[in-house]
Structure formats: structure tokens, C-alpha cells
Structure 1
Amino acid sequence: MRTDPIKNIAGLIILAYTLMACNSPSYISGKLEGVPEGDAKIYLIQPNNLREVAASYFGKVIDSAVVNPDGTFEFENLPEDEEPVLLEMAIQQPGKFPNYLNTDDPTRSNFMPVLWQSGEPLKITASFDEFQKSFVIENPSEINRALIRLRDVNLKAYKTYLEGKQWHVEDGKQLMDKEHAVLQYRKELMKYADSARDLIPALVALRLVSPEDDYERVPEFLVDQCRTWKKEQPGHPWVEQLCKQSEPSNLPVLVGDEFPDLQLPMITKDTLLLKDQLGHKLTIVDLWASWCAPCRLENREVLVPIWNQYHDKGLQIIAYGLESNESGWKRAVERDGADRWLQASDLKGDETPFLKRIRINTIPANFILDEKGVVLAKNVHGKALQDWVKTYMAKP
């Protein structure tokens, strides 16, 4: 049987175009400046769940590329999902694990999250030493632009509150200053997450708030994020993971909750119910320890003046000590002048049932309650606490 040569040629042309279309650029490539000598590599990491986002040593390494002497690199082993996928690009020097991520200092961070859409090439330029800080995508998508804006918010917040700061662990005031600075830094990221229009940038911001996955100081933020994205994208697995993490049983007592009516084993050997001891207008439940330098400072310089000024006007302080040594606890109470207000402890150290019931691990901490025991505010310290109490007590 004879074949038509014209048809054969036409078929070959169609096949060639088909192959060209299938093999059209669908990879991530780029160029790095300032690449050191040696076998520098860049890795592509895919987080498998929400907790693996921006978390060092987690996530699946799906591809690697040698950075050439001229700084160029190229990935080709990319996910073929129809839906966009969050990936993390990380540069590593010899001796580092492929999925090591520097989350401590965004000015030196070695990774950058990007959204990958199959079939849409990404072209990257960056500096090797300041990879995240200098990271640029050519013609980025809307979500990748949002991730770059998040990078800028993170950098600015870090420079404002944390860069170059050093705090001495022996100095109670410096430790409180450090906690305040960290909280202010985190608030900038939380503000970004609250205003984000797209899920992925919001969740990356949420993870940057605490790569260690510790939201004890800001649990209300998790609850708000769950509430927002459960409405917007209820079926997304990462939203489901977020909302699971945001369940009340996984979080400390929240602002707006009624504080549990717990038994208080008093320093006087009595046992009292917390609700029976509430102030007529305001109660501060203070969680402290005799070995905690910031707590001792708070006793002497903040709580004593507040007590002296407002106790007769309806303010109560209920202190719970994370203690195991009774004599040391009693000495600290007396020396700080904290024997003016109620003092309780189970004397079981880290195994104390009181902190477990309210799901708190970190001290100093406090809960400010109204006359019915509803939490009005939490973890307000120093002058901010004095100002808060002054404003509230001035209300009719």
C-alpha cells in the first residue's frame, strides 16, 4: 500500500509542534549574584501540611539544582498538580540539610515561598547571601506579589523591633522588654494576615508569626484566622488543619471567655474557689514564680502600686505561683510585698494542675477579669498594665 508523502510530512509537522508544546518551558529558573566557590545548591521544598510551612527541617525536597559558576540554575522536576502549589526555594552551602530554613533573621534568610502553577515558568533573581531579602520574580502572579509584600512587611518589622537587639537573661526588665518587642514584631505579621485577600499569603504570614508553632501568647489570632478562612475556603485541607489547631481545648483561655472557677490552695493552707474571691470591679489573675526574674520585678514595681491605689476601689489580685519549694516561695512573697494579695500554689512545679486547666506554659502571664470573671485582657505588663487598670477603674 502506498502512502501519501504530503500527508506524512504534514503529520510529522503536527507531531513536532505537539512535542514542542509538551516540552515548552515549564520550570523554575534564575540567576544568583555573589555565589561563593564550592558546590552551592538550591533546593525546592514542598510543605505537606500547614505546620511544615516556613518550618526548618520539614517539608519534602522534590528537586535540587547545582548553582553554576555564573550563578544560573534551573529546576525541572516540578509538581504537575492542576491546582497551584506552595513551594519553598532554599539555597544551601555544603554541610547544610536540604530543608534547613533560616527563620530567625529575615535579613539573612535562605529561603523564599512561591506559588507554583503548572505550566507557568518562574524566573528568579536574587543575591546568594541575602536570598529572601533580594528575591525578585519576573512578572509575578498576584499571589506571588502578595508573598513578596509579606517578605517586605517581615523585613520592616524585624528591623524596627528586633534587629541588633540584645537582652540579658538575668535582667528581668530586659526580658520583659524582649517579650514586648517580639510581640510588636508578631503583630505586624498578624496585621498582614488579617488584611490578606488570598489564603496562601495569609497562612504563610500565620506561620511566620511562630515557625515554632507556639501561639500561646496570641491564640485569638488563630481563632480569627480560622473564622475568616472557614467562610472563604472551607474545604481547603490547610484551613481544616488551622481550625483543628484553633479548637478551645488546644488554646489558653481566650479574651471573652469566662475564667474557670478553679480551686486555690492558698499560702495560708486554706482552699478557696476563685470565683468567690473576685474583686467587685476588676481582678488580675497573676501567674508567676519565685525563680522568675521578670515576675519578681512585676511584683515590686507594678502590682504593689496597683494594689495600693485600687484595692479599696474594687480591685483584687489573685496570684498563682509555679512553685515546688514552699519556703522559697514564701520568702519571695514577703520580700516582694506580694503578701498584700491572695497567693496560691499547688507546689507541684511544672506539673501544676492550675496551669494545665487554663492551658498555659509560659510565665509571667496574667488574665484581667471583670466582676463576673470574664476575661477582658491578657498578658498586659509593666506600665501598660498600670495604664490599663487606671483607665478601667476610672469608668463609672
Structure 2
Amino acid sequence: MTRLRSITRYLAALVCLGAALLLLAHTGMPQRIEISRGAPGSGAGLAIGLPAPQFELSSTSGETIALDSTAGAATIINFWASWCAPCRREMRELQQLQSQHPDSLRVLAINMGESADLVAAWQREIGISYDLLLDPTLAASQLYKVRGLPTTYLLDGRLVLRKVYYGPVSGRQLEDDLQRLARRV
């Protein structure tokens, strides 16, 4: 009888573990998705093919930068934090992209809630020359419905949202998508 209980408990634990793994596998967030097109005014939030929400944030140099100042160039908006290891790897690749496309690409990396001093020190340490913006109240993060880090948005020169990447994205993937974007113009 005791042995039967032990086997039953063991099988119940295996079933629970299997169910948890199945749930995790089906609810995990994909690394890259294209958000379905929403109807204007539908309240659906961010949608591919619609204008990106406008914001104005301070940079680590104290300059105020508005999204509309990047119009005319493809824009990458990257939400990040210094404690996020994938964010750090991604930022180096974003630096390479910005260096390769100085006239046709603008990178805006928005830090989520960390101090200006910490972000500026990190920028110097890593050697990032593109704009690191501060979002101390997380207003821009909420506007863009950021659910995890890193989250990256690709906009065309008219500041229309073209692609969203949840989780790390490679420089190669961004380069490919920038090339596709350039062919659409």
C-alpha cells in the first residue's frame, strides 16, 4: 500500500512537471514577431504600418530628443537596462549598425528607470556613441507597451512602425530588415 502511494505521488509530480513545461513552452514570448495591423483608432496599441507613438526624452548629455527629430532616416528604438545581459550584447551590435549607416539610420536606446549617472558611466565604459535616452518614469516604456527587455522597434523614415523584436535581436537580422526597408522606399 505504501509503495502504491509512493508511485502515485511520483506519477502526479511527473504530470505536474510535464504540464508546467507544456504551459511554459506555449506561453513563452517569441524573440521576433510582427504585430498584426490594427485599424486606426481601434485602441489596439502599436501596430505595424501605423505611426509610432511620439516621445521626448533627455539624453545622457542633457539634450532633449524627440522621436520626430529622426524623421527621414530609419530609426531603431531599443528599450534596455544595464543589468540586462542580452541588452549589453545587443547594444554593441547597434553601435556597429549606426557606424555602418551614419546618414540613413538613427539609433535611440531608451534606458528603463536607471539613473543618468549610471547610464552615462555605462555608455563611456562600453563606448556607445549613439543616443542613450533616459526614461525615469517609464512613460515611454508604457507608451510602447514594453513587456520585457530587450525590446526593439524598427521604424521607417516616416516614423511608421515596421517591425518589433521581443528579446535579443542580432545585428545581422537588423541589417537584413534595414535592407528590406530600404527596398520598400
Q: TM-score range by the shorter chain?
A: 0.7 to 0.9
Matched, 1:306 2:92: no
1:326 partner amino acid: A
Decide whether the 8 Å contact of 2:33 with 2:163 is kept in 1.
no
Give the match's secondary structure for 2:102.
helix
Q: How does 1:1-396 map to 2 (within 5 A)?
A: 37-39=3-5, 93=9, 100=16, 102-105=18-21, 209-210=26-27, 218=33, 220=35, 248=44, 253-278=46-71, 280-300=72-92, 302-312=93-103, 314-338=104-128, 340-348=129-137, 352-379=138-165, 381-382=169-170, 383-393=172-182
1:309 partner amino acid: Q
**Residue 289 and residue 248 in structure 1: after superposition, are their counterparts in 2 closer, same or farther (change >3 A)?**
same
Decide whether the 8 Å contact of 2:34 with 2:163 is kept in 1.
no
CA distance in 2, matches of 1:363, 1:220: 17
The count of residues paired between Structure 1 and Structure 2 equals 177
Could you report, residue by residue, the CA deviation over 1:48-72 in whole angstroms, capped at 9, with x for unpaired residues?
xxxxxxxxxxxxxxxxxxxxxxxxx
**Residue 294 and residue 94 in structure 1: after superposition, are their counterparts in 2 closer, same or farther (change >3 A)?**
closer
- TM-score (ref. length: structure 2): 0.75
Q: Which runs of 5 or more residues in structure 2 are unaligned?
A: none
Percent of paired sites with the same residue:
19
**Residue 370 and residue 277 in structure 1: after superposition, are their counterparts in 2 closer, same or farther (change >3 A)?**
same
**Residue 327 and residue 215 in structure 1: after superposition, are their counterparts in 2 closer, same or farther (change >3 A)?**
same
CA distance in 2, matches of 1:216, 1:256: 20
**Residue 94 and residue 305 in structure 1: after superposition, are their counterparts in 2 closer, same or farther (change >3 A)?**
closer
**Residue 310 and residue 218 in structure 1: after superposition, are their counterparts in 2 closer, same or farther (change >3 A)?**
closer
Give the match's secondary structure for 1:362.
coil
**Residue 357 and residue 335 in structure 1: after superposition, are their counterparts in 2 closer, same or farther (change >3 A)?**
same
CA distance in 1, matches of 2:26, 2:98: 35
1:328 partner amino acid: L
**Residue 306 and residue 94 in structure 1: after superposition, are their counterparts in 2 closer, same or farther (change >3 A)?**
closer
Give the match's secondary structure for 1:345.
strand
2:86 partner amino acid: P
CA distance in 2, matches of 1:95, 1:387: 48
* Structure 1 outlier segments of 4+, above 4 Å: 94-97, 214-219
Tell me which residue corresponds to 1:130.
none
**Residue 248 and residue 371 in structure 1: after superposition, are their counterparts in 2 closer, same or farther (change >3 A)?**
same
Give the match's secondary structure for 2:135.
coil
Shift of 1:266: 2.1
CA distance in 1, matches of 2:156, 2:94: 17
CA distance in 2, matches of 1:218, 1:392: 16
CA distance in 2, matches of 1:215, 1:304: 24
Shift of 1:296: 1.3
Shift of 1:331: 1.5
Could you report, residue by residue, the CA deviation over 1:294-324 in whole angstroms, capped at 9, with x for unpaired residues?
1111122x11221111122x21111101142
Decide whether the 8 Å contact of 1:290 with 1:323 is kept in 2.
no
Q: Which runs of 5 or more residues in structure 1 are unaligned?
A: 1-36, 42-91, 110-181, 183-207, 225-246
Tell me which residue corresponds to 1:159.
none
Give the root-mean-square deviation of aligned CA atoms. 3.7
Decide whether the 8 Å contact of 1:216 with 1:360 is kept in 2.
no
1:38 partner amino acid: L
**Residue 248 and residue 216 in structure 1: after superposition, are their counterparts in 2 closer, same or farther (change >3 A)?**
farther
Which entry has the higher C-alpha Rg, 1 or 2? Answer: 1
Decide whether the 8 Å contact of 1:299 with 1:337 is kept in 2.
no
Shift of 1:336: 2.3
CA distance in 2, matches of 1:272, 1:290: 21
**Residue 305 and residue 395 in structure 1: after superposition, are their counterparts in 2 closer, same or farther (change >3 A)?**
farther
